[in-house]
Amino acid sequence: MSKVKGYLGAAVTLFIVWYALAILLNTQALPTPVSTLSDFFHLLPSDLLWHFAVSLYRVGLSIILGVLLALPIGLILGREESIDRFFAPLIFILYPIPKVVFLPILLLLLGLGNLSKIVLITVIVFFQILVTTRDAAREIPSQTILSMKSLGATKWQIYRHVIYPASLPKMFTALRIAAGTAIAVLFFAESFATQDGLGYFIVDAWSRINYPDMFGGIVAMAIMGIIIYELLDLIEHRLCPWTKL
């Protein structure tokens, strides 16, 4: 409940600042929050909700896929030196490359639909989670592993009961950062050769010089961000209750 109050307070503060700026600048490019919100609610049922759903689906699925792929691979690379020795250089070559440059190739190979966008965002989330979980798994003190071994645990049990939970909180930190990047990349991917998604909605309104619509799209994007962060928080709470004490 206090969280809702926090968001409401933040929204009210933002709207006041925004309102003041809009009055001061007195330009078409910055509509007041009142006209933005009235457009937002007007467009929501007919149009905006659909774009919102498409975007949330793309970014949500990408995050899930990225985590499901990166988490196990990161944990294994962090603990198995023989495998890591081979793959680590590969990762460090690929990691700093801005993955968005692959969008044209992906569009060419995978088409203009959802797949190319989801693959692009998944790859970006994948690398951010991979590098963090690999480091987290490496940093587990050998005493911790030893203590589990002394109980007679198998390799799989050590992964399940020690390496996975020990790395999980750091994975969530990386995931928060990755989620922000994912939304930014989503916007980028949706501004090319597509007819749906919030990125398309915003860019389209922009090209029509319909600024209240455009800001309505931005508000929708902010709401999507809140939903994703709150969901991550909720999941982290369930999976890592010991970090919240």
Partner 1 sequence: MSEVELGGVGVDYESLGRTITAIDGIDLKIPAGDALSIIGPSGCGKSTLLYTLSGLIKPTRGSVKINGRELSGQRRETALILQDYGLFPWNTVFDNAALGLRVRHVPKDEINAEVGNILRRLGLWDMRDRYPVQLSGGQRQRVAIARSLALNPDLLLMDEPFSSLDALTREELQNTVLEIWRERNINGRNSSNGNSSAKLLTIVLVTHSIEEAAFLGRRIAVMEMGPGRIIKVVDNNGMGGVEYRNTPAFYDRCAGLRGLLKGGAREVVGVE
Residues near partner 1 (CB under 8 A) are 141, 143-144, 146-154, 157, 161-162, 165-166, 168, 240-242, 245
Residue 178 Cβ vs partner 1, minimum distance, rounded to whole Å: 22
Which one, 40 or 159, has the nearer CB to partner 1?
159
**Beta carbon nearer to partner 1, 154 or 195:** 154
Q: Under 8 Å CB-to-CB from 43, ≥6 apart: which residues?
A: 213, 216
Structure tokens at 26: 């007195």
Q: Which is nearer to partner 1, 86 or 156 (CB)?
A: 156
Query: Shortest approach of partner 1 to residue 146 CB, angstroms?
Result: 6
**Cβ at position 134, least distance to partner 1 in Å:** 19
Quick one: 164 or 206, whose CB is closer to partner 1?
A: 164
The minimum distance between CB 152 and partner 1, in angstroms, equals 5
Output 25 or 81, the one with its CB closest to partner 1. Answer: 81
Cβ distance to partner 1 smaller for residue 195 or 243: 243
**Sign (positive/negative) of CA torsion 116, 121, 124, 129?**
negative
Long-range Cβ contacts of 49-53 (<8 Å, 24+ apart):
50/196, 51/196, 51/197, 51/198, 51/200, 51/201, 51/217, 51/220, 52/198, 52/220, 52/223, 52/224
**Closest distance between partner 1 and the C-beta of residue 153, in Å?**
5
Q: Write out the two tokens for 28.
A: 């078409």
The separation between the first and the last C-alpha atoms of the chain, rounded to the nearest angstrom, is 19
Angle, helices 198-207 vs 211-239, to 10°: value is: 160
- Which residue pairs from 229-237 have beta carbons closer than 8 angstroms and sit at least 24 positions apart in sequence? 229/176, 229/179, 230/3, 232/172, 232/175, 232/176, 232/179, 236/169, 236/172
Q: Least distance (Å) from partner 1 to the CB of residue 142?
A: 9
